[in-house]
Amino acid sequence: MDQPAVTTEPTARGSTARVLASIGVAGPIFYIVLVTVLGLLWEGYNPIRDIQRELGIRQIPEGLIWMSW
């Protein structure tokens, strides 16, 4: 009785899953960095008092960065 050959070559499905998992990890990290940096750039922004959406609503130059993401 021969055992079936086991291949360890990456498949397209495995590669896609790996890319999507990487994006799933990187997305929240990028969001936290973006909110932190824009919050520091906006004078008068208080992360306890103001909601994060205000970073894009207000007419500030960095608001375009927030709205484009």
Residue 51 falls inside a structural domain = yes
Does residue 15 or residue 45 have the better pLDDT? 15
pLDDT score at 64: 63
Residue 6 falls inside a structural domain = no
Assign 7 a pLDDT band (cuts: 50, 70, 90): low
Q: Which domain holds residue 49?
A: 27-68
Does residue 25 or residue 35 have the better pLDDT? 25
Which is nearest to 55 in space by CA: 45, 69, 68?
A: 45
pTM across the whole model:
0.58
Task: Indicate the number of domains in the chain.
Answer: 1
Residue 54 falls inside a structural domain = yes
Q: Assess whether pLDDT exceeds 70 at residue 44.
A: yes
pLDDT score at 62: 60
**CA pseudo-torsion sign 28, 30, 31, 35:** positive
Q: Which residues contact 38 (CB under 8 A, 6 or more apart)?
A: 45, 55, 62, 65, 66
